[in-house]
Amino acid sequence: MSRRRPPTPLPDGLPEAVRILLTELRALKEESGLDLRALERRTHASRSSWSRWLSGETWIPADAVVSLADLCGADARRLAVLWEVADEARRSAPSAVEVATTAEPLTAAPPPTAPDPAEPVTDAVPGTDTVLVPDLSRTTDLGPGEPVHAGSWAGRTRPRRLLFLGAVAGCTLVAGSAGVALGAALQTPPVAGDAGAGPSETARRPVKVLSRHDVLVRARSWHPHSARRVPYDQNAGFQGYRTDGSGYASMALGLPKPGPNSALLEASYCRRIPMASLLPGDLVIKASGGADVREVLVFERWTSPARRAYWAYQQRRGYGTDHLVRGDGLTPGADHHGCRPYNVQDDPVG
């Protein structure tokens, strides 16, 4: 009977979100009884690659995380969110682990005319109604659930505790800013009156209520499909919001600046709905995959009663703010999902 070698300790200095992800992946491997040779036989990667990934020597690709989840019968969606948050955390601290070359190349295009900064997007909306969404600074339990940008959590350095459940049950971890993002990304918030709402005592904070008309007016304020459109840039900002897809959608919804990423939008600020139920101001989100494929669209209207395509507003890669026809999410098994924001209400009749 062969003696299994004990796992190599993870390197010091890893970002907390990276340590959480690798700890869970290592636990899944041990509990499944798979060794590196078995992983090599049953996945696309060599055992030396698996050894480097699980030891924290080099960064593990997202598809390898999904492969391990499938082999071990784990929640692949939850691990994908863990990977996204950890990926952003290690990008913010490149000395801790090897920086993967995943920077998004922008398609060469004539630079659009810069928008006039004198045209602010006002957060004022009619009335004073608010809805409650999770307070992202509070403790949360890990559960099912465009990359997280460091700027989204700038200044949140006060330690907070996360209850880490799953393969490493019972291990309490003190998390900094990346941990706060991690807990928020994995929480599906209840909303008063929603079917399937969770406990009413869930920590929340107010977000202004917008009508569907308000959302579309805000979406048009970045001059879509015109020379004055806002250029796409994951690392830039305009009127306090990131100028990527999730930042643009956050602006349209009046969410806290600089805006949550696509995974947090889906997990914490809206609930999934059938694509056929989309109404103006709803979102279409693809929160899975790499940074070069994740996207968020603001639904405007169907192109016809047949509902085979729709008009949407989008902060499009290589172009900027756009108004275009899309059909993503309308076929079985599609990665795009319809999402209804909690803070959007139907327009008043009459």
How many helices and strands (H and E) does the chain possess? 9, 14
Please report the pLDDT score of residue 109 as a whole number: 43
Average pLDDT taken over every residue of the chain? 73
Residue 63 confidence (pLDDT) above 80:
yes
Q: Which two tokens stand for residue 91?
A: 């990008």
Q: How many residues does the chain have?
A: 350
Q: How confident is the model at residue 41 (pLDDT cuts 50, 70, 90)?
A: confident
Query: Which of residues 302 and 117 earns the better pLDDT score?
Result: 302
Q: How confident is the model at residue 86 (pLDDT cuts 50, 70, 90)?
A: confident
In terms of Cα–Cα distance, which of 129, 270, 267, 130 is closest to 207? 130
Residue 90 confidence (pLDDT) above 50:
yes
Residues 6+ apart with CB under 8 A from 293: 286
Q: Could you read off the pLDDT of 261-296 as tens digits, one per residue?
A: 888 888 889 999 999 999 999 999 998 887 788 999
Residue 77 confidence (pLDDT) above 90:
no
Residue 203 one-letter amino acid: A
Please report the pLDDT score of residue 201 as a whole number: 29
Residue 97 confidence (pLDDT) above 50:
no
Please report the pLDDT score of residue 6 as a whole number: 66
The number of angstroms, rounded, from the C-alpha of 210 to the middle of its chain's C-alpha atoms is 22
Instruction: For residue 115, give the 3-state DSSP assignment.
Output: coil
Q: How far apart are CA 345 and CA 207, in angstroms?
A: 12
State the pairing for strand pair 270-273/337-341.
antiparallel
pTM: 0.49
CB–CB of 263/181 below 8 Å? Answer: no
Q: Could you read off the pLDDT of 122-170 as tens digits, one per residue?
A: 554 444 456 655 443 333 333 333 333 333 333 333 333 333 333 333 3
Residue 88 confidence (pLDDT) above 90:
no
Q: Could you read off the pLDDT of 316-329 as tens digits, one per residue?
A: 999 999 999 999 99
Residue 214 confidence (pLDDT) above 90:
yes
In terms of Cα–Cα distance, which of 330, 294, 297, 336 is closest to 313? 297
Residues 6+ apart with CB under 8 A from 183: 136, 139, 140, 142, 160, 162, 175
Q: Could you read off the pLDDT of 47-60 as tens digits, one per residue?
A: 888 888 998 889 99
Residue 85 confidence (pLDDT) above 50:
yes
Q: What values do phi and psi take at 172, rounded to 5?
A: -90, 125
Most confident range, picked from 19-23, 114-118, 166-170: 19-23
Please report the pLDDT score of residue 121 as a whole number: 57
- Average the pLDDT over 177-200 and give the result: 37
CB–CB of 133/209 below 8 Å? Answer: no
Q: How far apart are CA 226 and CA 116, in angstroms?
A: 13
Please report the pLDDT score of residue 247 as a whole number: 94
- Average the pLDDT over 245-274 and give the result: 92
Instruction: For residue 26, give the 3-state DSSP assignment.
Output: helix
Residues 6+ apart with CB under 8 A from 255: 207, 265, 269, 343
Please report the pLDDT score of residue 349 as a whole number: 65
Residue 344 confidence (pLDDT) above 70:
yes
- The proportion of the chain whose per-residue pLDDT surpasses 90, expressed as a percent, equals 32
